[in-house]
Structure 1
């Protein structure tokens, strides 16, 4: 997921949208949205994880 997409997700959440609304709008699973929001709450940032490929 790109930094731009993560920024849009965080912006939607801060503007009062639910995780379900964000997941439908952005075409991502609710679990993916939940993980982004959890990491942001814990670290005040969202870092990309290194892929295995």
Structure 2
């Protein structure tokens, strides 16, 4: 399923937002860098904190 089909915003607004973030979109396409490792670490820390404080969410 395309991103646009999942989105609740209009196609015109979607294109406008992509144009506004053109530099960021271009950088994401051009580079092999990802923040997945950082995101995974943050998720792990949050899980540990949740366990420590005995909270479900």
- Normalised by the length of structure 1, the TM-score is 0.29
Q: Flag the structure with more relative contact order, 1 or 2, with Cα contacts below 8 A and sequence separation at least 6.
A: 1
1 or 2, which has the higher helix percentage?
2
Larger Rg belongs to:
2
